[in-house]
Amino acid sequence: MHMTDLIEKKKQGLELTEEEIRFIVNGYTAGDIPDYQMSALMMAILFRGMTIPETTALTMAMAHSGDMVDLSALGAFTADKHSTGGVGDKTSLVLCPMVAACGAKMAKMSGRGLGHTGGTIDKLESFPGFSTSMSPERFLEIAGTVGFVIAGQTANLAPADKKMYALRDVTATVNSIPLIVSSIMSKKLASGAKTIVLDVKTGSGAFMEKEKDAFTLAREMVNVGKQAGRNMAAVVTDMDQPLGFAVGNALEVKEAIAVLRGENVPDLKELCMVLGSNILVRSGLAADEAEARARLEESIESGAALRKLADMVTAQGGDASAVYDVSLLPAAPVQRRVKAPRDGYISAMEAKNIGLVSMHLGGGRATKEDVIDLCVGVVLAAKVGDRLRAGDELAVIHAADGKAAEEAEKELLECYTFSDRKPRRRPFIRGVVT
Ligand code: URA
């Protein structure tokens, strides 16, 4: 087999066979196929697309390019969740303890944040001493006893994706649905969970800005996962404005704890209920959605979910006192109130730019090497559809110093559009794909 023939075949829009796809992925991972040929092939895929059997073959070859984690020792109810990334997305911090309290085993590998979206691991490091590096044995032990563990991604999980994603980043081939499907699903399949739920965001702060593309991505990921024998569901959700009110690492942990204590942050809580009920129903832990929702509510009311979070933090070496006393979480020295500049409704918010405000305050990374400030960020006081009077509180900026706060205020005010008429609101949950 010759790589040039395979590039030519895809360039003409023909279907690659499973064997050809395996040859490409194995050859590229081993270093036998050079970057320039792989770039040409990925550009051909971007323009010509892939059939479902091709995308499935690509995903499976990429998943098998490294370790396939074996979670069978944890029983039948292993589950995992993936989000395509958004602003203020602290879902895992709420969802994992809730479903763990209902009997699921969430053995998660997670990444650090880059750009305007934060990573779950960064957020969890708000607990002093918290560590995400551990032996595979300890990883399984915590998942088994607590029901919820979050580790950093191991070096040998889908190494083909690591190389391909880095190449896509510099060859303008990121936004290809089959390449995104195979990238995300190869890592999820290699991580070993039997049930996988996906949160596909759409809107101004999302990777998939158009809803139609988000649904196509959701359907294809569900399809590939099912063909690999996993229980699957994907939820398409709004990212035209941040999720919840808090944006910034420790601030998001505080908001997640508030939900686990019973506070209703409507979009965040509903997302956890939809993802959580899909985990419970698809894995067989609940008979139907009504039972699943009742059990998830009970996990909060009884305090069981909050205790799961504390148990996980303790098991991973962290000081869990802050779970019960959030004043112990790291806090920024400067807090600046931002006031509404005029009377009216908030008709739009630029979610991505609000993420960038937090990043510029020091809460996110521009490069992988950047050290982040866990304390800083923005807490919104109002969201799209809310009516304010000039001077009402719009948000509070948490900053390292007064100058940074002042600059952030200017940037933040640019993120809002106001109107005199109440804006039409689209539903937060756009649909569930099973
Ligand atoms: N996230 C991934 O892991 N891969 C992609 O291709 C896009 C988003």
Query: Using CA atoms, how far apart are residues 100 and 106, in angstroms rounded to an integer?
Result: 7
Confirm if 51 and 178 have CB atoms less than 8 A apart.
no
Instruction: Please indicate whether residue 158, judged by its CB atom, sits closer than 6 Å to ligand 1.
Output: no
pLDDT given for residue 117 in this prediction: 67
179 backbone dihedrals φ, ψ, rounded to 5°: -75, -35
DSSP for 339-400?
E-SSSEEEEEE-HHHHHHHHIIIIIS-SSTTPPP-TT-EEEES--TT-EE-TTSEEEEEEES
Query: Using CA atoms, how far apart are residues 274 and 40, in angstroms rounded to an integer?
Result: 40
- Closest ligand 1 atom to the C-alpha of 184? 3
Residue whose CA is at the smallest distance from ligand 1 atom 6: 180
Tokens of 161: 């994706």
Spatial neighbors of 273 by CB under 8 A, at least 6 apart, are 293, 296
Q: For residue 288, indicate whether it is catalytic.
A: no
Q: In what order do the strands lie in the sheet with 195-202?
A: 148-152, 105-110, 78-83, 195-202, 231-238, 429-433
Spatial neighbors of 328 by CB under 8 A, at least 6 apart, are 319, 321, 322
User: How many other C-beta atoms can be found within 10 angstroms of the C-beta atom of residue 121?
Assistant: 22
pLDDT along the chain (434 residues), means of 10: 97 98 98 98 98 97 96 97 92 98 95 73 93 93 97 89 93 94 97 97 88 96 97 96 96 98 96 98 98 98 98 97 96 98 96 94 83 95 97 98 98 97 93 96
**Residue 125's closest CA among 271, 244, 252?**
252
Q: For residue 187, indicate whether it is catalytic.
A: yes
Which amino acid, residue 51?
A: T
Angle, alpha carbons 179-182-186 (nearest 5°) = 150
Which residue out of 42, 164, 183 has the highest number of ligand 1 atoms within 8 Å of its CB and is therefore the one to mutate? 183
Give 235-269 as a 3 state SS string.
EEEECCCCCCCEECHHHHHHHHHHHHCCCCCHHHH
Distance from residue 207's CA to the centre of ligand 1 (Å): 9
Longest dimension (CA), the chain: 69
Choosing among 2.60.40.420, 1.10.10.10, 3.40.1030.10, 3.30.360.10, the CATH entry for 72-324 is 3.40.1030.10
Q: For residue 201, what are the β-bridge partners?
A: 237
CATH 3.40.1030.10 maps onto the chain at 72-324
Q: For residue 161, indicate whether it is catalytic.
A: yes
CATH 1.20.970.10 maps onto the chain at 3-49
Confirm if 412 and 349 have CB atoms less than 8 A apart.
no
Distance from residue 177's CA to the centre of ligand 1 (Å): 10
Instruction: Considering the candidates 183, 186, 191, 358, report the single residue annotated as catalytic.
Output: 183
Q: For residue 168, indicate whether it is catalytic.
A: yes
State in words which class domain 330-419 has.
alpha beta
CATH 3.90.1170.30 maps onto the chain at 330-419
3-49 carries CATH number 1.20.970.10: yes
pLDDT given for residue 114 in this prediction: 66
